[in-house]
Structure 1
């Protein structure tokens, strides 16, 4: 119980303290009316409050609704109304609180639990924050709609145990990105989340329970960080080193000072660390195991990171609808270009994109479909979309891939991202991987654009590594040895920065929207 469970910017919480506060918060939530079916939104950055409230809501019998605190008021309102969230937990920060407060009189939201930033920092930093950062702190009304976090915990922790049906009761509503329309919530049961956590426990070798440190910079409201970071870390009895956002210098300093052994991330984070570590003197030697997810991990990025740290960096594959991890490369046995083997108890099927009833043999491309204990119960309040997402009981992922003879999964691309060039399927990921092999390329995104001759053609957007230079002609010349003529980008555009999602994944939708606007301008 004395082992550190959380280190939030230097404020440490032991496992004994964490357990006690979770029980107190569970009773506090029950006194606010939380029971089975009640939705509690967590609109928080990475803080100790997130961890405490997440487990407390589940103990109280409620359902956690993960919400991005950077969403604008309109986006929050949409998700609160869709989910039926009646209680929200957030910070007393002007950047977040006013958006939540606006929902109290105009949505189904009834109560807001307020975590004071000054209270969760180390005592001296908290005092300095209260004095020097007063302009960042929101004024919180003293009324029945607002509950201070300290009051939520002001009890003996004797919550009423709730009988949970792990296979049926919904633990988390996890909203998908909404790139194809309105976001929809995957209903993740207690069995889904605990099952996926257990699958990952079996995956990571050489863990010394109670002795590991897990660095968490990915936001906990994202399903990848929730499971691969927080839940897996707690299962290991690890110390969770929480950073509220990705700041490269802060991350590098934290690695050197706090000495984490586990560091889940996304490719853009590893890319940024590679560039900084090669340019400076940073000690990354404590890191032993890293799982990359959320986006394709270029082989060159993995090799550089492993060389710099001496760790094993493996790529996995998953999606919100699978809690999220489906496959992962075994540590120390990575197969180049693959996203790994199915986790224990998971089966992966490749079905024809044209006729989903047809199973494809090894080596043949098709839609990736999955079965396993981590697969969601369905989409919240969307029975039609749920039925369309399953075939013969298997979850249709919308991703194109293939299995090799050894059962390793290779991800080719998203079905919706495939570019049809003169009747041929061109996969952006293939071109992106080829671009990453050029020593000057730091990041690359490929999308399809209209083409008078071929119907569609690839267009590449590239960010160069600091200190490197090249041009479009030189890159195209390099690509002639890497990809076919039909895959050659029609145009290569260089950018100082490429758009990213809230969790740091490279994002295509802004570039697609930009191209669509450009085409409209041309047409008019």
Structure 2
């Protein structure tokens, strides 16, 4: 019989909050406590709340209100947090835009989300791209800030003097508004009564692994409750809380686990514009970071950095890994290096962030995604017929329901997205007698070899046992006789040597006949998503192109 191991009752009820109210409560409770550390400049909760209220009035003066979509085309910086809550306070909904998108991808998402106002920076990596979108889409206004505005005075001066190439010349006209001017308005008063927390707050676009990205409709309640759920499972709720914000806030993992959860808790976000190993290690040592959400490739990079031993990481207390399975050697090495607790969790865009995680206190079970968060019901259904439960002991598609579950996809036909009031995730999982779930693979990633189903993750796990293998991905490639065969792509540890032939022999000797690799390629790098998660879709497209 399974025992629920999170330090909170499974049936605990969380209060659905309008997101600006969530921030207001923390800011009024502790106005002088640090909220954000951005490259050494500290902003306190009272300051952030003041800026949010001014930004809200500024947005409203531009005509932003209920029914409006405000886009955020920003890296991790104070501008993001202020614009996020300011636009929501003005009554708008938000849409996150990845700085990694092309002009065409941005334009399509702007049109789909009905976005008329976009917040960005004058950074050379951002402004030229979004300026082209302004010329060719429905966008009407760009609100443009500068990195220098958020830096400590000395760093701001050096940035302006010596890093001019990182800034772009802005075409100031009637369609451009300065960030500073947005904050010159009076503070907006809190509405009474407060808006409905069930109202749409965020259009969070999926990664587009199965076609054009779709906007998951997430309410204020979805986001605020998931933040509270994540915070509730910390076994030391009174402990110091300083979290490293190296994952991008425009991604749902960081949006919930770094920003919203930390605001609920009243902790400090140590924000980095992007993940760079030395900068991350320096930030942890300088600010005594206690929490680190990341993806496996991030933890691996921190361990592999040649001068990592020079940085004091002993302040780390709890770390959560998501996005992809955590190789056991990486977890073991990171825990040994830092003394922190590192657990694996699971979530998706459509869940407002997190569905399940391993308990911090016990560490849970290696290789699993742990147990569902309080109030989240998980059911495994048959792979071929989601209206039926999965057979006992077999993998089934993971479905769930609970307060963080999205209402549907924006402007899309949602037929088949839900079953019996639960969201279908497309992930195949198993559950053990203790109630711990294990993701086996993506339903769409299964390889069918002569009618037998092969899970890429099973083959990848064997590859990771080879001492030379650093990263591994397995996909299905066309086979005239069997339909598909597994093919592997790997990178090697620095200084390690292994031939494709030796890796093939190693793997094929340790798996079933139908799982055996038809080929293996050793590469310098493998494709990754915006948060550093290994990505199969580019390899699949590459193999298909070879056949045309």
TM interval, short-chain normalised? over 0.9
2:245 is aligned to 216
Contact 1:60 1:160 in 2 (8 A): no
TM-score normalised by structure 1 residue count: 0.95
CA distance in 2, matches of 1:147, 1:433: 51
Q: What residue number does 2:280 align with?
A: 251
Per-residue CA deviations over 1:495-514 (Å, capped at 9, x if unaligned) read 11111112111111111111
Aligned to 2:90: 60
Q: Are residue 402 (structure 1) and residue 430 (structure 2) matched?
A: yes
Q: Quote the residue 2:159 is aligned against.
A: 129
Q: Determine which of 326, 340, 359 is the counterpart of 2:355.
A: 326
> What corresponds to 1:165 in structure 2?
196
Q: Deviations over 1:71-105 (max 9, x none)?
A: 12111110000000011000012321122223334
- Counterpart in the other structure of 2:257: 228
CA shift, 1:160, in A, is 5.5
Deviation of 1:515 (Å): 1.0
How far 1:272 moved relative to its partner? 1.2
On the 8 A contact 1:30/1:159 being kept in 2, the answer is no
Q: In structure 2, what is the equivalent of residue 309 of structure 1?
A: 338
- Name which of structure 1's ranges 256-265 and 332-341 shifts more when overlaid on structure 2: 332-341
5 Å matches for 1:2-13? 2-13=32-43
- Say which of 152, 162, 166 aligns to 2:182: 152
| Correspondence for 1:478 | 506
Q: 1:219-252 deviations in whole A, cap 9, x for unaligned?
A: 1100101001111111221111111111112212
Q: Could you say what the CA RMSD is over the residues aligned between the two structures, in angstroms?
A: 1.7
Deviation at 1:120, TM superposition (A): 1.4
1:62-77 to structure 2, matched below 5 A, reads 62-77=92-107
**Which of 462, 467, 488 is residue 434 of structure 1 equivalent to?**
462
Of the three residues 354, 358, 369, the one matched with 1:339 is 369
Query: Offset at 1:446?
Result: 0.7
Question: Please, what TM-score do these two structures have when normalized by structure 2?
Answer: 0.91
Equivalent of 2:519 in 470, 491, 499: 491
Equivalent residue for 1:24, pick from 34, 48, 54 = 54
Q: Is the 8 A contact 2:73 2:118 kept in 1?
A: yes
Distance 2:287 2:150 in 1: 19
Moved more, 271-280 or 386-395: 271-280
Moved more, 135-144 or 280-289: 135-144
C-alpha separation in 1, matches of 2:307 and 2:376: 39
**Residue 101 in 1 paired to residue 131 in 2?**
yes
Deviation at 1:278, TM superposition (A): 8.7
135-144 or 7-16: bigger deviation: 135-144
The CA distance in 2 between the partners of 1:223 and 1:182, in whole Å, is: 18
Find the counterpart in structure 1 of residue 544 from structure 2. Answer: 516
CA deviation vs aligned residue, 1:385-419 (integer Å, no higher than 9, x gap): x1220111110111111222222111111111100
Is 2:508–2:517's contact at 8 Å kept on the other side of the alignment?
no
Q: Secondary structure at 1:387's aligned position in 2? A: coil
2:297 to 257, 265, 268: 268
2:271 and 2:392 mapped to 1: Cα distance? Answer: 42
Q: How many residues align?
A: 516
Distance in 2 of aligned mates of 1:123 and 1:61 = 33
- Superposed, 1:170-209 pairs within 5 Å as 170-208=200-238
Kept in 2: contact 1:39–1:87 (CA 8 A)? yes
Which of the pair has the greater relative contact order for Cα pairs under 8 Å at 6+ separation?
Answer: 2
Query: For the structure 1 residues 187 and 434, does the alpha-carbon distance in structure 2 shift closer, same or farther, using more than 3 Å as the test?
Result: same
- 1:90 is matched with which residue: 114, 120, 133? 120
